[in-house]
Structure 1
Amino acid sequence: MSRRLLKTGLAITLAATSSHGFASGFALNEQSISAMGTSFAGRSSAADDASTVFGNPAGMARLKRDEVSVGAAVIHAKSDIRHASGSSPAGALAGSNDGDMVPDTGVPMGYYVKPLDEKVALGIGVYAPFGLMTDYERSFQGRYQADKSYVRVITIQPTLSYRFNDQLSVGFGPTFNHIEGELTSSLFTPLGDGKVKVEGDDTAVGFNAGVLYEFSPRTRVGVTYHSRVKYKLEGNTKIDAAAATNLAGKYDAQLDLTTPESVDMSITHELNDAWTLYAGSTWTRWSRFKEIRVENDASTLPASLNTIVEEQNWHDTWAHAIGLAYKVNKQWTLRTGIAVDQSPINNTDRSPRIPSGDRTIFSLGAGWSPNEDMTIDVAYSYLQEESVDVNRSSASRGSYNATYKNSAHGLGASLTYRF
């Protein structure tokens, strides 16, 4: 019993977040509303506004005036859970399977770019590269396998770009990343359900680098590298309503976690004065996420419980996207795109915390420029995942089996001002 209590409580890894963002694993794509309209095709080559600080810092060299861009996206997700069955360590378990475990989530972003001359530009960005949340209902049938999970990573990125000539520019920026997370798990005891709550945070440094090459005024390609970031989350584990186990109390806990590096490659081609085609692919090294390893500082517990390990064994993924923009006139630009994105999760280790499968994303967007100084961008995306099965069973936590069909709607808006 005591081993189950700690293992349930300390599994706070970022992988405990929602699978309903618009990127694989626990990554977020919503760092640019203009790019959202084309399903993020051409993200590393478009350099349409100040959000290029994230998409490709080399693209800042294309901006001729100071720019400020602020925006946010809202994600509304839903899961259709079918064929569910579950048990507690004591036997069969009844419960609900509503599938509304992801609260509506907002993702903010903000950027500023200042060209110093024709070659050098400075910029700064604030955005969320990883995050989201799950919060199952109190009576969820699989509550001993998963309950509430929350994570947020906020990044600040000061950036420099340099343009060598009319064709080649490069950019680089260190990233200062703050992560915080919370996990609340239901807990089975002979006296009834209890709760285990884990909290932790850390700050770590990475970087973002990019290259942009313009074959002609109408065609350009870009490559962006987002580095891995190593965190050492420190916090505590609080166990309530577990008096029968003699483990009630608060314990210091530590978790090492590395968010993966990614490479984004894309091309932007202006077919004519009205039509622009975007295409791109992103590789993410999710294979770094092999296990959850938590170091627990609890002098009152047996030494064998001070290190808890849970296997994950994720694999690397590819995402591919194609998009199109149509410039109606000087004021209006319309966008659309489609993307396919692999899930990094294998069928054996999938759990109710991340019931994710391969996904397809459809997007629409528009940009309105009432004058040369201001642009308002809006975008809508619809995500649909393949059906996936969750089959989890252990003597200490019971079992939960179900089929998940996930979907999500995303709506975003941003304002760009030039001066």
Structure 2
Amino acid sequence: MLVARVGSAALLATLLNGTAASAGAFGLREQSTQAQGMAFAGAAAGSGGVSSMFWNPAVITMRPGFVTEQNLTYLGPSATITPTTGTNPVFAGLGGSGDIGQGAVLPAGASSYQINDRLWLGIATDAPFGLTTKPNQTWAGEVYGRSSRIFSLAINPVIGFKVNEWLSVAAGPNIEYFRLTLRQALPIPGLSPAAYPSGFLKGESWGVGFTAGATITPWQGTVFGVGYRSSVHHDIDGSIGVPLLALAPLAGQVRSSLNTPDKLSVGLTQAVSPVARVSLGFEWDNWSRLGTVGVVSKTLGITVNNLPLNYKDGYYYSIGGEYDVSEALTVRGGFGYETSPIDFSNRSVRLPDGDRYSLNVGASYRWSNQLTLNAAYSHLFLDRSRILAGLGRDYNVGNIAFAGVVDSSVDIVSVGFRYAFGVPPAPAPAPLVRKY
């Protein structure tokens, strides 16, 4: 009986290993159409409108009256993993992953309401984390991943206070929902790799953190902002499925604890003329706090695996600018560079991420005093990267070696609008005065 329990735990560990990179380790930045057009440069200083609440809640004091912004973004990732020399010969013949990228639509919104000259209320809904990858059902790396899906939703109410003419502060709770579904092939002795069944891991959790920030306007035309999103602790309750009747007792509950990374954002926007502005941005994501995550079987009452995430911290740098072509039309563009928390030491087939460069363009059209329409397009270039799993590596399923190279890119299209109530109308042009 003890031997059976130990063997069952070992197979459960095989199922869970390789899923580590999917446990909330992929961040989403696409929360503002307006900010996307400038590569999110100056987002913490309000360059993304009220939607900049994601980076810095204090930006709500920059808009009078009641303002609501809604954004809809399509993410079109493309990534292929090609097996290379070093892959187990039995699996190498199964071929590459095909395109593992899965398109997704990401909604995000934010609203603010001015109570008086000093006090504002705001609320934002967004998705700070997400991942959807799906390689071919049968491929050379199938024991390390057949599909991955992560979904998150954050609700962030805040209170903003304008201390004086140059300083505003804001803070509020961040209520976050997190869900994952992961599948991979189970190597069953006696079966051909092409016939391996899939096991799954599912889990979900609610957690609470907070956001806080400040904006400083030392003089007209200059805005400096700093925002912070805390880590959110998730006690994930989930289940596993193992397609073997002999292991039916394992098709039950598991639990794990995960702390999402905290985030620091810094932004600067500087007017260089009455119709042009330049913005800079910096973001730090504390991915290294994830470390190693333990997964516990509620059925067996033991830790069945330690997931060695071992991510590095992530850093993002951006520069952008915008120009008012007319009172109705504004165009913008930007460039961003990100150092990924994932490199060769911790890269998996579920998250074949790498350093990236982004080119961004966007525009806003002021339809009326109340309604503004926004659009943006981005193309992300990712460095070609390598994956190695198997004996002696963090990701090891049955000592099955897998080596591959990853080629990937991302296209992002976003549309949105801003509607304002109670905003003073634009000033009328000065009357023409003639002297005779």
| Counterpart AA for 1:251 | G
In structure 2, C-alpha distance between the alignment counterparts of 1:368 and 1:412, rounded to whole Å: 14
Show CA shifts across 1:44-85 (max 9, x none). 002552213223211111101211111111111112434535
Q: Which residue of 2 aligns with 1:97?
A: 96
* 1:6 partnered with 2:12: yes
Shift of 1:262: 1.1
What is the distance in 2 between the residues matched to 1:26 and 1:17? Answer: 8
Matched with 2:268 is 267
CA distance in 2, matches of 1:106, 1:139: 27
Stretch moving more, 249-258 or 336-345: 249-258
Find out whether 1:410 has 2:412 as its counterpart: yes
Cross-structure match for 1:223: 226
Q: Among 232, 235, 238, which residue is 1:235 paired with?
A: 238
Instruction: State the secondary structure of the residue aligned to 2:327.
Output: coil
2:153 aligned partner: 154
Pair 1:335–1:14, CA change in 2 (3 A):
farther
Provide the secondary structure at the position in 1 that maps to 2:45: coil
- Find the residue that maps to 2:14 and give its secondary structure: helix
TM-score under structure 2 length normalisation: 0.88
Instruction: Give unpaired runs (5+ residues) of structure 1.
Output: 19-24
Q: 1:310 corresponds to which letter in structure 2?
A: L
Match of 1:59 in 2: 59
Alpha-carbon separation, structure 2, partners of 1:307 and 1:164: 52
Q: Which runs of 5+ in 2 are unaligned?
A: 1-6, 392-396, 422-436
CA contact (8 A) 1:187 1:195 kept: yes
Residue in 2 that maps onto 1:137: 136
Shift of 1:298: 2.4
Moved more, 396-405 or 223-232: 396-405
- Offset, 1:224: 0.3
Q: Is the 8 A contact 1:17 1:134 kept in 2?
A: no
**Secondary structure of the residue that 2:241 maps to in structure 1?**
strand
Q: Which amino acid aligns with 1:61?
A: T
Cα deviation for residue 87 of structure 1 reads 5.4
Q: For residue 352 of structure 1, what is the aligned residue in structure 2?
A: 349
- Pick the aligned partner of 2:400 from 398, 401, 405: 398
Displacement of 1:12: 8.1
Decide whether the 8 Å contact of 1:206 with 1:229 is kept in 2. Answer: yes
AA at the equivalent of 1:127: D
The corresponding residue for 2:432 is: none
Map 1:260-339 onto structure 2 (within 5 A): 260-299=261-300, 306-339=303-336
Which residue of 2 is the match for residue 21 of structure 1?
none
Name the SS of the counterpart of 1:293 in structure 2.
strand
* Cα deviation, residue 8, structure 1: 3.5
Q: In structure 2, what is the equivalent of residue 186 of structure 1?
A: 185
Which letter maps to 2:346?
A: D
Query: Which residue number corresponds to residue 111 of structure 2?
Result: 112
Between the two proteins, what is the percent identity of the paired residues?
Answer: 25
Query: Structure 1 48/195 Cα, relative in aligned 2: closer, same or farther at 3 Å?
Result: closer
The one-letter amino acid of 1:379's match is: A
Q: Which amino acid aligns with 2:56?
A: N
| 1:381 maps to 2:367 | no
Code of the residue aligned with 1:111 in structure 2: it is: A
* Amino acid in the other structure paired with 1:232: D
2:82/2:95 contact within 8 Å kept: no
CA distance in 2, matches of 1:39, 1:233: 33
In the alignment, the residues of structure 1 paired with residue 151 and residue 381 of structure 2 have an alpha-carbon distance, to the nearest angstrom, of 23
Report the equivalent of 2:431. Answer: none
CA offsets 1:9-58 (integer angstroms, 9 cap, x no match): 3358673279xxxxxx5010011110000010001002552213223211
Q: Structure 1: how far apart are the matches of 2:97 and 2:173?
A: 42
Report the Cα distance in structure 1 between the residues aligned to 2:282 and 2:366, rounded to whole angstroms: 29
The amino acid across from 2:318 in the alignment is A
Count of residues paired in the alignment: 406
Question: Helix, strand or coil for the counterpart of 2:274?
Answer: coil
Asked whether the equivalents of residues 17 and 131 of structure 1 are also in contact (C-alpha less than 8 Å), the reply is no
Return closer, same or farther for 1:277/1:99 CA change in 2, 3 Å cut-off.
farther
| Structure with the higher fraction of residues in helix conformation | 2
Give the 3 Å change call, closer, same or farther, for CA 144–86 of structure 1 in structure 2: farther
The structure whose Rg is larger is 2
> Quick one: structure 1 residues 13 and 393, their matched pair in 2 at CA, closer, same or farther if it must change by over 3 Å?
closer
Output the CA distance in 2 between the equivalents of 1:418 and 1:14. Answer: 43
TM-score by length of 1: 0.92
1:405: how far off?
A: 1.9
CA distance in 1, matches of 2:61, 2:382: 37
1:200 to 2:197 alignment: no
Q: Which amino acid aligns with 2:323?
A: Y
